[in-house]
């Protein structure tokens, strides 16, 4: 008569398998929750960016315009204060030079004033609906308003730019602009959003009578950041 040996799994081994299975389920659930959290956080950031970018950009533009008005109240806006034109004996233009000392001083002052004005946005009420934090566009305009924390971002780098435009026979309009860029950062629980706004301000302009050398028409008198 044959004999059969039945092998049974020890109780301790069964317990270990159950613990391992439970641990795997818990770990999978945790990874799923974390993944969903980061996904919805990313979606929420994008929704909030869309809701706030236009508003903040408009306020940045207003602040930078106010800063320029304050700057030009302190400086002369006469074209001859920034540009010197040399002519030969026949009245032909031989050289156009910009007063870089004055322009650099102007840009440095403008950058400082812009930073001061932009920092005022930190006190403004920038709000988004509460459900915008869900990351679901369909409900992003619903819920109570939540005020966002705003901080100014770094410096406001400036550069100057010249433009020459022919407006008649031997008549050229020469304009000098200051380009500036400023930004603010929206503080969110996980990932902050930075909104920047470039702006150009006309410093001075004048119509130059006489033939302007082709070099200036092609390359202008451009400057680097202050």
* HSE-up of residue 37 (Cα within 13 Å, Cβ side): 9
**pLDDT for 225 beyond 50:** no
pLDDT at site 31: 74
* Number of domains within the chain: 1
Nearest of 224, 225, 221 to residue 96 by alpha carbon: 221
pLDDT digit string (tens) for 110-135?
999 999 998 888 877 777 766 676 66
Residue 5 forms part of a structural domain = no
pLDDT digit string (tens) for 33-56?
666 556 666 667 777 777 778 888
Dihedral sign, Cα of residue 63, residue 116, residue 154, residue 158: positive
Residue 224 forms part of a structural domain = no
Express as a percent the part of the chain with pLDDT over 70: 73
Dihedral sign, Cα of residue 200, residue 204, residue 206, residue 211: negative
pLDDT at site 43: 67
Residue 2 forms part of a structural domain = no
Angle at 57 between CA 179 and CA 197, to 5 degrees: 25
- pTM, entire model: 0.69
Residue 1 forms part of a structural domain = no
Residue carrying the six token digits 């920092």: 119
Tokens of 218: 């092609």
Q: How far apart are CA 146 and CA 83, in angstroms?
A: 50
Q: Tell me the residue range of the domain where 62 lies.
A: 11-219
**pLDDT for 142 beyond 80:** no
pLDDT at site 137: 67
């Amino acid at each position: 008569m044959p004999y059969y040996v039945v092998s049974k799994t020890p109780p301790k081994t069964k317990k270990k398998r159950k613990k391992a299975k439970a641990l795997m389920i818990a770990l999978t659930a945790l990874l799923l929750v974390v993944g969903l959290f980061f996904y919805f956080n990313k979606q929420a950031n994008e929704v909030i960016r869309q809701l706030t970018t236009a508003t903040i950009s408009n306020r940045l533009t207003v602040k930078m315009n106010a800063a320029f008005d304050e700057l030009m109240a302190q400086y002369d806006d006469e074209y001859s204060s920034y540009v010197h034109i040399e002519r030969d004996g026949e009245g032909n233009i031989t050289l156009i030079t910009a007063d870089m000392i004055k322009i650099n001083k102007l840009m440095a002052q403008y950058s400082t004033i812009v930073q001061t004005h932009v920092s005022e946005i930190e006190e403004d009420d920038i709000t988004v609906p509460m459900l915008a934090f869900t990351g679901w566009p369909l409900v992003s305009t619903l819920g109570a308003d939540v005020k966002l924390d705003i901080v100014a971002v770094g410096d406001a780098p400036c550069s100057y730019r010249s433009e020459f435009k022919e407006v008649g026979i031997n008549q050229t309009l020469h304009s000098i602009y200051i380009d500036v860029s400023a930004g603010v950062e929206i503080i969110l629980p996980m990932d902050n959003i930075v909104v920047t706004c470039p702006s150009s301000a006309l410093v001075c302009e004048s119509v130059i009578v006489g033939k302007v050398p082709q070099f200036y028409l092609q390359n202008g008198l451009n400057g680097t950041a202050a």
